[in-house]
Amino acid sequence: EIADLDAFGGAAAEHVRDRLAASVDERAEPADVDPLVDWPAIRELYPDLREVARRLRRTVLESRPIRMRHHADGDGMCASVPVQLALERFIDDIHADAEAKRHLLKRLPSKAPYYEMEDATRDLNFSLEDQARHGQKLPLLLMLDNGSTEEDTPAHETISHYDIPILVVDHHHPDPEAVDPLVDHHVNPYLYGEDYRVTTGMMCVELARMIAPGMGDELDHVPAIAGISDRSKAEVMSDYLQLAREAGYEEAFLHDVSEALDYEAFWLRYDAGRDLVNDVLNVGGDPERQRELVPWLAARAERDVERQLDAAEPHVEHETVSSGAQLYRIDVENYAHRFTYPAPGKTTGEIHDRKVEEAGEPVITIGYGPDFAVLRSDGVRMDIPNMVAELNEAFPGAGVSGGGHLVVGSIRFVSGMRETILDALVEKMADAEIDEELHSSLTR
Ligand code: MN
């Protein structure tokens, strides 16, 4: 259709390039919003979150795809679903093609609370295929409720061999020395002397409001659900619950949404389940459907937990260790239903919660299988990442790895060393100091 074409050169080209760059800068500027609740912890993180919002808007303006990876739990979904909705709206604003959002944005759940090699390799492989086959740009990778720990670094490194920028918004105990050289932006409350109480969902609701202006009150219930899911002990939880109440959500219903999200995440496995999850959370979903779906899903989840605990509880072994803490052990491989909800991590967590309720703190619970152990503790000063390092030093042939938060996490080892490692683990836990202030935050 073009009969004649002249290329700009020299100063004219420079001028056009500058104007384009200036207008992209202008349009990448995030929406000017204030935090939903007045909380210094969130205020401190605001400039960091604005930087991530700016980068994401710019990525959309440049027609570069975004791959969003998130922990497949309640908080991870409260983080990723609002950001997904905001990015879809912004993509619709910018791109005339109604299908653009399908090519430019993918939300992908990760089973582990860190970026696994399997996921990273798949992400890289799909990105390179999309580039080769459809001429797409290599994506930007957005890690939510995932990405901050030393365990994430092999995956980050895999990705970093290619031109794929990585942005991280997470609240797992971070290892900035290992992670920061590999990622473009790393937002984590621990980097500001805060902790996991600031959940990823709380941060990402603010991020979503910065990405798409005019979100209104449609996300007002989400931070409370995120906090409930990750057992946030923040004082500001009462403000978030109040905000949710004003949006028509009673606290009991928020708990049900949290359970329903967890239940759906289990059955969806590697599928994002976009429309289903949008309905359950009622973010870009159908509010009436949510009212029908959530109580049903929550009841199913509760029934399945009961069934699991009926089988497991008679097999829980108990001892009082030298520090005075109550220690409970359960073999989740042999005394729990397998391949069904709840998985070993949550099964251990549910047993732990019951024991805390029965016995009061301090309580330590270990759920173990042939080559793994899930650890939960309340009121005990533990440092799981450090324990892993010590076990590795003491037992070079046990292949101990893992970590997580300080007082809750999971470790892996080779199955032939199970008895040795479990005994050593119990000994270390028995020595751990009692501290009423320390609580299990995350269950999985
Ligand atoms: Mn979380």
One-letter-per-residue 3-state SS of the chain = CCCCCCCCCHHHHHHHHHHHHHHHHHHHCCCCCCCCCCCHHHHHHHHHHHHHHHHHHHHHHCCCCEEEEEECCHHHHHHHHHHHHHHHHHHHHHCCCCCHHHHHEEEEEECCCCCCHHHHHHHHHHHHHHHHHHCCCCCEEEEECCCCCHHHHHHHHHHHCCCCCEEEECCCCCCHHHHHHHCCEEECHHHHCCCCCCCHHHHHHHHHHHHCCCCCCCCCCHHHHHHHHCCCCCCCHHHHHHHHHHCCCCHHHHHHHHHHHHHHHHHHCCCCCHHHHHHHHCCCCCHHHHHHHHHHHHHHHHHHHHHHHHHHHHHCEEEECCCCCEEEEEECCCCCCCCCCCCHHHHHHHHHHHHHHHHCCCEEEEEECCCEEEEEEECEECCHHHHHHHHHHHCHHHCCEEEECCCEEEEECCHHHHHHHHHHHHHHHHHCEECCCCCCCCCC
Q: What is the distance in A from the centroid of ligand 1 to the CA of 19? A: 41
Q: What is the distance in A from the centroid of ligand 1 to the CA of 93? A: 30
Question: What pLDDT is stored for residue 439 in this prediction?
Answer: 62
Q: What is the distance in A from the centroid of ligand 1 to the CA of 25? A: 32
Q: What is the pTM of this model?
A: 0.91
Averaged in consecutive runs of 10 residues, what is the pLDDT profile of the chain (444 residues)? Answer: 90 94 96 96 97 98 97 96 98 93 95 90 96 96 95 94 97 94 97 94 98 94 97 94 97 97 94 95 95 97 97 96 93 94 94 92 93 92 86 94 75 95 91 75 40
Q: What is the distance in A from the centroid of ligand 1 to the CA of 84? A: 17
Q: What is the distance in A from the centroid of ligand 1 to the CA of 97? A: 34
Q: What is the distance in A from the centroid of ligand 1 to the CA of 339? A: 23
Q: What is the distance in A from the centroid of ligand 1 to the CA of 74? A: 8
Q: What is the distance in A from the centroid of ligand 1 to the CA of 189? A: 12
Q: What is the distance in A from the centroid of ligand 1 to the CA of 6? A: 54
Q: What is the distance in A from the centroid of ligand 1 to the CA of 231? A: 9
